Chains A and B, each alone.
Chain A
Amino acid sequence: MTKLGRQIEIGPTDNTSNERTPRNRLHLIPDAARASFVPWAPRIQGLDPAEADLTRLAPGRPRAEGDPIKVTGKVMDEFGRPIRNSIIEIWNANKFGRYSHIEDHSGLQLDPNFLGLGRTVSNDQGEYEFWTIRPGAYLARPDINRWRPKHIHFSIRGGSSRLITQMYFDGDEHNDTDPMRILMGDNFHVNIGKEYETPDEDFDSGYQFDIVIGGKNPTFFENI
């Protein structure tokens, strides 16, 4: 009998999760095949620093509606070693809970000054910084009155690092009913941005969201 890997769980009340979550346990990868599962993504060249500022469409344009916030953090491996030069992408809903994505058919209010998507590259210490608008929560399942709590999506890639995750906000009343939050169980706290004050800066507040990439994906990080 071969030993098996994780059983991926279905997010409670999430229809898509029910339709797309594998029902069988994952198969463990033998050592001889392990390295072949770690892709090495080519670099993206020439990111514009303004892409890290989501509060405006472009420098000089009016600021989007809502509370401007600063999101900062450090990308690390499990030993706390910085992960440099990785592409960090974020995307979040506007103040009203609406994405600028063409497939968001919620009908919630758009903000013509907010795209809600940005990119940057982690520096030599693994640090990053974004400016965005505090996202709104939105009703995800009107039939059962289930909301998605406020959240910011994150993708980290470049080299072999790949992580898709979300930053949540402490105390959001909808956190506890969120399907993916429920699956995170006791470790949910690591996905919460730690709020801090930003005196003399033009932000409502700052959030520190350190990202630790686990597993064996960071195999090549030291070569970056």
Chain B
Amino acid sequence: MTHSNKKINRLIPTNEDTIGPYYPISFCDGDSIDMATTKNGIIFKPEGEQIKVNGCVRDINGNLANGVLLEFWQANAKGVYRTPDNINDPDIDPWFTGYGRYRTMDGNFTLKTIKPGRCGDRAPNITLTIFSDGIMRVVTQLFFENDPANDQDPLLQVVPEDLRERLMIKKTKENEYFIEIIMAGENETPFFDDLLS
């Protein structure tokens, strides 16, 4: 009863709906999937190890998921997120927003960024939101394979051990990584519930 009383004065949220196949491409004009380079001809760069994460998004049949809109979000090299409540944090990197957005026409992407730092007991990670035709928004968080902090990460702890590997960004060569996102079916990427949580 307490639960329902608490909810009683709340409005019913608008239902999420699919983005559909025709999200206007021009709405992405100002977007960037390159967080490692400072725009507007400024010489300064964000601190930290510059990395490239190559990746792709696949459907239940193993086909590339065309036309999905990807949103990336991460902490800077010192593990600090750029949010309005910490603008005075001395560890904010003025050259790093931690936010990237990209509409991939064919399902492949290359994220240029800096390797995020540890944030408390959180292992370095990148939040990924996927907007696609046919589904509502889904979110997940990607980690770096073999990072010593992974063992203690509170989010990875809620994912069954045999599935954790699917969230691991794997190193392919110096400063370069790879991740495959599988939206459905065999080897499906674990996704998280940010509405009920």
Contacts and interface: CB of A to CB of B under 8 A. Distances in A.
B60 A155 contact: no
Interface string B40-70: 0000000000000000000111010101000
Interface of A: 2, 4-6, 8, 11, 14-24, 26-30, 32-42, 44, 76, 78-80, 89, 91, 99, 101-104, 117, 119, 153, 155, 159-160, 162-166, 180, 184, 187-188, 190-191, 210-217, 220, 223-224
A169 B129 CA distance: 29
Interface in B146-167: 153-155, 157-160
Contacts of B101: 41
B67 to A, nearest CB: 7
B134 A103 contact: no
Interface in B85-120: 85, 97-99, 101, 119-120
Given A30-B155, A212-B14, A11 B197 contact: no
B60 A220 contact: no
Interface string B154-196: 1101111000000000000000000000011100111111111
Contacts of A41: 99, 101
Contact of B195 (A79, A164, A214): A214
B192 A37 contact: yes
B99 A40 contact: yes
10 contacts: A22-B184, A27-B190, A30-B197, A37-B141, A40-B83, A44-B30, A78-B11, A153-B20, A162-B71, A162-B129
A37 B194 contact: yes
A13 to B, nearest CB: 11
Given A39-B129, A91-B24, A22 B188 contact: yes
Identify which of A14, A29, A162 gathers the most chain B CB atoms within 10 Å of its CB: A29
Q: Which of B20, B71, B99: most chain A Cβ within 10 A?
A: B20
B15 A117 contact: no
Contacts of A36: 73, 75, 81, 119, 122, 125, 127, 141, 155
Interface of A is mostly: mixed
Contacts of B27: 89, 117, 119, 155
A79 B10 contact: yes
Interface in B1-25: 9-25
Contact of A39 (B24, B65, B127): B127
Q: Interface residues of B toward A: which range?
A: 35 or more
B145 interface: no
Contacts of B23: 91, 153, 155
A28 B158 CA distance: 8
Contacts of B84: 40, 159, 220, 223-224
Given A155-B23, A164-B17, A184-B15, A27 B134 contact: no
A190 B188 contact: no
A162 B73 CA distance: 13
Nearest to B9: A79
A117 B24 contact: yes
A78 B13 contact: yes
Q: Which of B14, B22, B83 has the most CB of A within 10 A?
A: B14
Contacts of B61: 19
B22 A101 contact: yes
